Amino acid sequence: MSGPPCSGKSTVGAALADALTTAGHGRIHLEVDALFELLFPQSDRNRDDRLRAYAGAHLLARMFVDGGETVVLECTYARRDQRASLLEALAGSAAPLWVVEFFVTPDEAVSRFRERRQATDLDEALVRERAEAFPYFDDARRMQSSSGTPEEHAQSIVRWLRQDPLPVDQEAWAQAGRGWN
């Protein structure tokens, strides 16, 4: 699951993990933000720490995938390096990669940001910029985050997965990310 900050990834990710559990699948939900806080509580959220948090999440995801689990991996995935890190961790795995992207308008993202009560390195201007410039991928499953509840989105994703959708072209998805500016 990917998308700009404040697009609903975390809440839908938790609902999706719950929905998959009730559907008889493994319940593994990995949030890069939560892992980042656990691994680097004193970080200034620099690029190297961010990439190490992504790499850690990806290694955990691979471990669970190799154990036969379905993994809901929730990260922003705006950057090529972040996407490439996932592909590196999945190299040699037969597991498909499905990407669900959450769309949020800049105004909605800022409104949600104002309601958050967690520590962050973001401010309203950055949230707006990231919502405006997020590199969406045409072959990903796109969801309008304001068009339903997290549970409704999770059920929609479960129905979609039951249709056995084609996985994304991993290399094309990685290349569609943004570089670091």
**What tens digit of pLDDT does each residue of 90-122 get?**
999 888 899 999 999 999 999 999 888 766 778
- Note whether 109 and 6 are within 8 A (CB): yes
Residue 169: the pLDDT is 93
DSSP for the chain, written as a single string: -B-STTSSHHHHHHHHHHHHHHTTS--EEEEHHHHHHHH-TT----HHHHHHHHHHHHHHHHHHHHTT--EEEE----BHHHHHHHHHHHTT-------EEEE--HHHHHHHHHH--S--S--HHHHHHHHHH----TTSEEEEGGGS-HHHHHHHHHHHHHT-PPPP-HHHHHHTSB---
pLDDT in tens, the chain (181 residues): 999 999 999 899 989 988 887 655 567 889 988 888 899 888 888 889 889 999 999 999 999 989 888 889 998 899 999 999 999 999 998 888 999 999 999 999 999 998 887 667 788 999 999 999 999 999 999 999 889 999 999 999 999 999 999 999 999 999 999 887 6
DSSP element (H, E) containing 83: helix 80-90
Give residue 179's pLDDT: 85
pTM comes to 0.89
